[in-house]
Chain A
Amino acid sequence: MSGGRAARSAENRLRRLLVVLPWLMERGAASVAETAQRFDISESDLVRDLELASMCGLPPYVDELIDLFIDDDGTIVVGVPRLFLRPLRLTEEEAFELLAAGRAAMQLPGADPDGALNRGLRKLAVGLGEDDTGVLVVSPNPSEVTRLAEAAREGLEVAVVYRSRTRDEATERVLSPFLTFQDHGNWYVTAHDSLSDEVRAFRVDRIESMEVGGASGHVPPEGIDVPNTWFADADIARVDLRLGPAGRWVVERYPVDEVSEPDGDGWISARLAVTGEAWLARLLLRLGDQVEVVGPESMRSVGREAARRLLAVYGET
Chain B
Amino acid sequence: MADRVERLTNLLALLLETREPLTLDVIAAELGGQYPDGHDARRASFERDKAALRDIGIEISSETLTGDRAGQMGYWVVRNEMEIPDLGLDEEELRALQLALAATRPGSETGREAMWKLGGGSADGQVFVAMSVPTAEVLPVLRGALGDRRAVSFSYAGVDRVVEPWGILLRDGFWYLVGHDRSRGDRRTFRVDRIGEGRVTVLDDAVVVPSDFDIRSALPADPMMLGADQHSVRSARVSIGRQRAFSAVRELGHDRVLARNEDGSVEVAVPFANLDALVSWVLGFLEHAVVLEPDDVRDEVVRRLRAVAS
Contacts and interface: CB of A to CB of B under 8 A. Distances in A.
Contact of A58 (B13, B122, B308): B13
Contacts of B171: 137-139, 185
A120 B114 CA distance: 14
Q: What bracket does the count of chain A residues touching chain B fall in?
A: 35 or more
A120 B96 contact: yes
B93 A96 contact: no
A134 B193 CA distance: 18
Nearest to A108: B129
A228 interface: yes
Given A83-B13, A308-B309, A40 B56 contact: no
Given A13-B5, A98-B101, A105-B100, A127 B287 contact: no
* Most chain A beta-carbon contacts within 10 A, residue among B5, B83, B88, B171: B5
B117 A19 contact: yes
A195 interface: no
B283 A89 contact: no
Interface residues of B, number: 109
Interface stretch (A71-79, A145-153, A236-244): A145-153
A66 B127 CA distance: 40
B105 A101 contact: yes
A80 B259 CA distance: 80
A313 B141 CA distance: 52
B129 A149 contact: yes
A99 B5 CA distance: 31
* Most chain B beta-carbon contacts within 10 A, residue among A23, A66, A153, A285: A285
Interface of A: 1, 3, 6, 10-11, 13-15, 17-19, 23, 38-40, 49, 52-53, 55-59, 65-66, 83, 85-110, 115-117, 119-121, 123-124, 126-130, 133-139, 142, 145, 149, 152-153, 163, 168, 170, 178-185, 205-206, 208, 225-230, 251-253, 255, 259, 261-262, 278, 281-282, 284-286, 288-289, 303-304, 306-311, 313-314, 316
A137 B103 CA distance: 14
B302 A316 contact: yes
B139 interface: yes
Contacts of A134: 143, 146-147, 167-168
Given A88-B57, A179-B128, A124 B89 contact: yes
Contacts of A11: 52, 55-56
